[in-house]
Amino acid sequence: MRKTTLVVLAGAFTALATIAYAANPMVGGAAMFADKNIVENAVNSKDHTTLVAAVKAAGLVETLQGKGPFTVFAPTNEAFAALPKGTVETLLKPENKDQLAKVLTCHVIGAKAMAADVAKMAMDDGGAHMVKTAGGCGLTLKSDGGKVTVTDENGNVANVTIADVEQSNGVIHVIDKVLLPKM
């Protein structure tokens, strides 16, 4: 009887460990670990090399490695490539560091908001929830049938393509557009 109990407990532990590990989706072909911070995980995503380069150029690495909590709407390389020709190169120049930091911090909310949280906030507010970002931008969050969208101050709509990537200091939601502040 004792041996059977141990086997059952070992099986239950393995199942729980698998569930906990499997909770985070892969991003850019890389595993994302809930015990690593936003920067530690982002550097491993092949889909976020432009974002990582921009975070470094803007001097925001230390901030995004901080305690948080943060919600980061992380645009892919394709999202950056869709900006008008020369935009990324111009923003990455040292003389444009402040402008780059403003663009990037418009993707960061100073709270941890999972997709279910966004859906509840939007529902509670009649379908759309307005939030202020770390950069002072206003974003409108919507959720419709499990699909989350983020609209910036200019009316650009980004779709969340991978939601709820948990981090030790918050959560990342991968998006398909770069959010821009009103200029």
Q: Return the pLDDT at 144.
A: 86
What tokens does 90 get?
């111009």
Q: Residue 27 pLDDT more than 80?
A: yes
In a domain, 168, yes or no: yes
In a domain, 19, yes or no: no
CB 47 within 8 A of CB 76: yes
What is the Cα–Cα distance from 149 to 9, expressed in whole angstroms? 42
CATH number, domain of 120, equals 2.30.180.10
In a domain, 142, yes or no: yes
- The parent domain of residue 91 ranges over 27-175
Dihedral sign for Cα atoms in the order 19, 117, 175, 88: negative
Q: Who's near 134: CB < 8 A, 6+ residues apart? A: 70, 105, 106, 108, 109, 110
Residue that wins the pLDDT comparison between 139 and 3: 139
User: What pLDDT, in 10s, does the model give residues 45-101?
Assistant: 999 999 999 999 999 999 999 998 999 999 999 999 999 999 999 999 999 999 999
Could you give the number of structural domains in the chain? 1
In a domain, 9, yes or no: no
Q: Return the pLDDT at 28.
A: 84
In a domain, 181, yes or no: no
Share of the chain above pLDDT 70, in %: 88
Question: Can you give the pTM of this predicted structure?
Answer: 0.85
Q: Mean pLDDT: which of 23-27, 142-146, 164-168 is highest?
A: 164-168
Confidence bin at 6 (pLDDT 50/70/90)? very low
What is the Cα–Cα distance from 166 to 177, expressed in whole angstroms? 21
For the chain, the average pLDDT equals 86
In a domain, 182, yes or no: no
Q: How far is CA 53 from CA 18, 28, 88, 137, in A?
A: 33, 15, 10, 22
User: What pLDDT, in 10s, does the model give residues 28-52?
Assistant: 888 888 899 999 999 999 999 999 9
In a domain, 72, yes or no: yes
Q: Who's near 51: CB < 8 A, 6+ residues apart? A: 42, 74, 75, 76, 77, 80
In a domain, 64, yes or no: yes
Q: Return the pLDDT at 175.
A: 96
